[in-house]
Amino acid sequence: MLISKFEFRNSKLVVLLLLFLAATAAAIDFPPLTAPPEMFRRHREKFLAQMAPNSIAVFRAAPKRPMSNDVEYVYRQDSNFYYLTGLEEPGAIAVFRPGAPDGKRYLLFLRPRDSRREAYEGPRPDAADAVSRWGADVGLSSEEFLTKMSRYDPVSRTFSGYLAGVEKIYLSDAGDETWSRQFREAIESMRSREAGPATVVDARELVHEMRVIKDPDEQALVRRATEISGKGHIRAMQAAAPGRYEFEVQQALDGYCHANGAVRMAYPSIVGSGPNSVFLHWEKNNRQMKEGDVLLNDSGAEYGYYATDITRTYPVSGRFTPEQRAIYEVVLAAQKEAMARVKPGLPHSEIGMTAARVQTEGLLRLGFLSGEVETLLRTNGHRRFTLHGVSHGVGLDVHDVGRYGNRPLEPGMTFTIEPGIYIPANMTGVDPKWWNIGVRIEDVVLVTADGHECLSCSVPREVAEVEKAVRERSR
């Protein structure tokens, strides 16, 4: 068909416009964010500075899960190993020597090259990469590890290697029992000749304490995981409707996170509606939602190995019932009051105590409890309905490491505040109108120099905002 120049030019414009719109629709909302090598170098320097004189630390990478028939599981590095190295490779070993006489304080042992396996998995890093990409002072083959660590000369009856003369070993085996047994046997062989290190301690003690305070680069990754997950939660709210399935809500959230650079979720998403809303770790997500259900969605992505943890509860129909709203408002008040107290110096335990008091008062007001507030708090009377603690650390693990307890809060701490109330069906002494209501509201908080920042509070949590978000459902 013949067309005029005018029509041709306009058709080109239409095509270009369509291509632009398609590219815009496909564009991710968050550009990639990568942890800088300097972050891992700082972690290593801090760790080395805390090691005892004349000591050595050995960290093993996480072992790969056994294959299921001919299918390999997706690999996830051990969090402590990653914290110090930034390396995701299995089979690796990191060695730290604070007093190294040769100046080689950071050694990285990597798997040898294997052309057949690399044809399946892609290229493996080598010794040169250990130095150029991951900042090691020396790169070696993991096959050399035992001999480099300890060599016995039967003629002189002496040991040489990196363990020679060392008094203390910090060890983290990442759960690789076979490797750990072989290495410990090498240590015992030295000890049997009165040449081995006198002490072997758990290296995680030092690293776990370091991980409690997140540096600015770590904060940026937790923030990114939280921002992506937060937008995913809004899409999940819009996906909820009577007749739809829990897994459709999960897919709306998980899919958005994956589309914006999250390689995996930080934990299996919990999407429980109606009777499933009262289960703390419901993961089947297979129920068809009904009019009048409340839906509890506890989901968070992992981004650059750093996790987040957000929970929202909302009515499938777009309107809370009076009973659902009453419970929701108690939980929200508890969270708000607990969060308002967060600042440097506050004992972490005060967060849970504050939430417990507000929830106890609310449960008394609604008739679920009777008695005096102080007595109920002392006897944990509220725990019949609340079930769990209300705060845990968030970082490289969704329930991050480190001792909190009565520890005073410090800038750089990141943790959740997540009060909840759960009323299953057939609960003794509870009117059936309250049954099958599970409510949890969970946000991630960063302690700042003069207070705190809620990283996830952009996700609707006020009653009117939550109901509005659900009613703006996708078609």
Write out pLDDT tens, residues 123-134: 999 999 999 999
Tell me which of 287, 312, 357, 440 is the catalytic residue: 440
Tell me which of 113, 193, 319, 388 is the catalytic residue: 388
Structure confidence by residue, pLDDT tens digits, 342-351? 999 999 999 9
Q: The tokens of 177 are what?
A: 């029992």
pLDDT score recorded for residue 474: 57
Q: The tokens of 93 are what?
A: 């070993």
Tell me which of 422, 452, 461, 467 is the catalytic residue: 422
- Residue ranges, comma separated, of all CATH 3.40.350.10 domains in the chain are 37-210
Tell me which of 78, 217, 227, 298 is the catalytic residue: 298
- Residues 1 and 332: their CA atoms lie apart, in Å, by 66
Structure confidence by residue, pLDDT tens digits, 33-52? 999 999 999 999 999 999 99
Among 3.40.50.2300, 3.40.350.10, 3.20.20.70, 3.30.450.90, name the CATH number for the domain at 37-210. Answer: 3.40.350.10
Residue 144, classified by CB atoms within 10 Å of its CB into exposed (0-12), middle (13-18) or buried (19+), is exposed
- Residue ranges, comma separated, of all CATH 3.90.230.10 domains in the chain are 213-471
Tell me which of 227, 309, 400, 443 is the catalytic residue: 309
Tell me which of 442, 443, 452, 467 is the catalytic residue: 442
pLDDT score recorded for residue 194: 84
Nearest to 424 by CA among 271, 278, 314: 278
Q: Any catalytic annotation for residue 298?
A: yes
Treating both helix axes as pointing N-terminal to C-terminal, what angle do 349-366 and 322-340 enclose, rounded to 10 degrees? Answer: 150
Read off the amino acid at residue 73. Answer: Y
Residue 14, classified by CB atoms within 10 Å of its CB into exposed (0-12), middle (13-18) or buried (19+), is exposed
- Residues 404 and 108: their CA atoms lie apart, in Å, by 32
Number of residues written out for the chain? 475
Q: Any catalytic annotation for residue 418?
A: yes
Q: Any catalytic annotation for residue 399?
A: yes
Q: Where are the alpha helices (DSSP H) in 194-321?
A: 204-212, 216-239, 246-259
Treating both helix axes as pointing N-terminal to C-terminal, what angle do 216-239 and 246-259 enclose, rounded to 10 degrees? Answer: 140
Q: Any catalytic annotation for residue 309?
A: yes
Which of the residues in the chain have pLDDT under 50? 1-26, 475
pLDDT score recorded for residue 27: 62
Q: Any catalytic annotation for residue 442?
A: yes
Tell me which of 399, 407, 471, 473 is the catalytic residue: 399
Among 3.30.70.270, 3.90.1200.10, 3.30.70.260, 3.90.230.10, name the CATH number for the domain at 213-471. Answer: 3.90.230.10
Q: The tokens of 158 are what?
A: 């002496």
- Residues 435 and 274: their CA atoms lie apart, in Å, by 9
Q: DSSP letters along 384-437, please?
A: HHH-S-S--B-SSSSS--S--TTPBP-TT-EEEE--EEEE-TT-TT--GGGTTE
Tell me which of 397, 418, 443, 467 is the catalytic residue: 418
Read off the amino acid at residue 95. Answer: V
* Structural contact between residues 97 and 166, judged by C-beta atoms closer than 8 angstroms: no
Tell me which of 116, 157, 281, 475 is the catalytic residue: 281
